């Protein structure tokens, strides 16, 4: 669908006139555009996003979370002499001071971010050093959130990483089997069903209070952190839609799920999908060093398992979406969600064999 980008972007406090607006990045949820404006021969890049309002049903509350977290980050960065426009995700407000614009004619919710310049969001780990940098970025981000007053945060998607709930949702999708796809994916379905025991482990620790509930990012993929294009050092953590109460095991686990696989998340050739224990070591080292004493024993004891759990949960979500007819994650080809689920299952099989070694690595740091 084409939108009237000129009108939309002109609602925001931007410099100049819009000269181009193209789809950008590889997120699965929002529609992201690179919007370029020009004033007196000077061009400025912005990130324009059409928020997925089917999923984020309360856009004002979502955006209020993002405002709180980004303003908090910006102050912290300023205080230490950094450049907040580059080191934090930063909102460009509307001319009326709002965090988003609702386009009545297209019923779209739009937001604008300052473009983080000279930085890259990688889709796969190209150099171990990059992965290390992303670990330090997310570890530091966890420390920052620990200082943040979370009482004003709205829980954007309740039960986001409640794997027991995700399992029930999966069962419901299987039962409905809207497109009659279940008959052809028996192996994948059995893979999920036979591992039901995984679901309760972390939610029960959180429920009983044995593991602390913390404010976490909840979507710590490598492509949600920007690394400096020249030095490879981390610049900023982005994609703050899912900041909510959770466990650091989820954040650690989701980074591992995405980054310890040298192939893409949707690779069709499963012989290329392997869990890389060296990359696990690299990430554990970076994350735990940045976290410092910010992790309890019970958290550390469950970090490695968190990687299996997040991969299992994500695989289950991809497969449920395949059964539902691909309505949640953006797909670009036939069977895309099924391919994504299969890579997750391959990684789980690898990790199940390597778990004792993964745990040893965590203990080492």
Chain residues in the site for ligand ADP (CB under 6 A): 24-25, 27-30, 32, 47, 89, 113, 115-116, 121, 223-224, 238-239, 241
CA atoms of 360 and 303, how far apart (whole Å): 11
Site for ligand GN1 in 40-99 (CB under 6 A): none
Half-sphere exposure for 249 (CA within 13 Å, toward CB):
29
Please choose which of ligand GN1, Mg ion, ligand ADP, none residue 140 contacts, taking the beta carbon within 5 to 8 angstroms, the exact cut-off set by kind.
none
Q: Which residue has the tokens 């796809």?
A: 181
Q: Which does residue 32 bind out of Mg ion, ligand GN1, ligand ADP, none, counting CB within 5 to 8 angstroms by kind?
A: ligand ADP
CA distance linking residue 276 with residue 282, whole number of Å: 10
Q: Does 214 bind ligand GN1 (CB under 6 A)?
A: no
Residue by residue, DSSP assigns 12-35 as B--SSEEEEEEE-S--SSSEEEEE
239 binds Mg ion, rule: CB under 5 A: yes
| Residue 244, helix vs strand vs coil | strand
- Segment near ligand GN1 (CB under 6 A); pick from 24-32, 99-107, 145-153, 204-212: 24-32
Q: Which of the listed partners (Mg ion, ligand ADP, ligand GN1, none) does 314 bind, with a CB threshold of 5 to 8 Å by partner kind? A: ligand GN1
Site mask for ligand GN1 (CB under 6 A), range 262-281, x = bound: ---x----------------
Q: C-alpha 188: how far from its chain's center?
A: 24
Could you give the angle at which helices 336-364 and 277-291 cross, rounded to 10 degrees?
A: 60
Q: For the segment 232-261, give every residue that binds ligand GN1 (CB under 6 A).
A: 239, 241-242
- What token pair was written down for 267? 């690779």
Regarding 221 and contact with ligand GN1 (CB under 6 A), the answer is yes
- Output the smallest distance, CB 229 to Mg ion, in A: 18
Residues 365 and 358: their CA atoms lie apart, in Å, by: 11
For ligand ADP, the closer CB: 21 or 89: 89
* Closest by CA position to 221, among listed 321, 144, 121, 294: 121
Min. distance of Cβ 28 from ligand ADP in angstroms?
A: 6
Q: What is the largest CA-CA distance in the chain?
A: 63
Binding site for Mg ion (CB under 5 A): 27, 224, 239
């Amino acid at each position: 669908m084409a939108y009237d980008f000129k009108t939309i972007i002109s609602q925001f406090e931007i410099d100049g006139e819009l000269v181009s607006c193209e789809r950008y990045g590889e997120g699965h949820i929002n529609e992201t555009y690179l919007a370029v404006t020009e004033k007196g021969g000077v061009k400025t890049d912005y990130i324009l996003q059409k928020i997925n309002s089917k999923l984020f049903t309360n856009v004002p509350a979502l955006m209020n979370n993002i405002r709180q977290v980004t303003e908090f980050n910006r102050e912290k960065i300023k205080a230490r002499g950094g450049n907040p426009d580059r080191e934090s995700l930063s909102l460009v407000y509307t001319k009326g001071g709002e965090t988003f614009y609702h386009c009545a004619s297209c019923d779209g919710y739009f937001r604008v971010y300052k473009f983080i310049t000279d930085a890259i969001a990688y889709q796969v780990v190209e150099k171990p050093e990059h992965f290390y940098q992303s670990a330090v970025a997310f570890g530091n981000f966890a420390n920052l959130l620990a200082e943040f007053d979370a009482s004003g945060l709205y829980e954007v998607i309740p039960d986001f990483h409640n794997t027991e709930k995700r399992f029930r949702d999966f069962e419901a999708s299987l039962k409905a089997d809207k497109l009659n796809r279940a008959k052809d994916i028996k192996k994948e379905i059995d893979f999920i069903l036979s591992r039901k025991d995984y679901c309760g482990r972390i939610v029960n620790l959180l429920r009983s209070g044995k593991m602390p509930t913390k404010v976490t990012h909840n979507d710590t993929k490598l492509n949600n952190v920007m690394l400096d294009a020249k030095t490879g050092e981390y610049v900023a953590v982005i994609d703050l839609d899912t900041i909510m109460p959770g466990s650091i095991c989820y954040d650690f686990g989701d980074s591992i799920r995405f980054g310890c696989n040298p192939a893409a998340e949707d690779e069709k050739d499963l012989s290329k999908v392997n869990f890389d224990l060296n990359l696990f070591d690299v990430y554990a080292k970076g994350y735990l060093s940045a976290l410092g004493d910010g992790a309890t024993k019970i958290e550390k004891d469950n970090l490695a398992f968190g990687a299996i759990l997040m991969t299992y949960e994500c695989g289950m979500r991809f497969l449920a979406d395949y059964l539902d007819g691909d309505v949640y994650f953006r797909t670009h080809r036939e069977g895309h969600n099924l391919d994504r689920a299969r890579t997750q299952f391959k990684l789980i099989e690898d990790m199940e064999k390597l778990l004792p070694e993964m745990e040893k690595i965590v203990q080492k740091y």
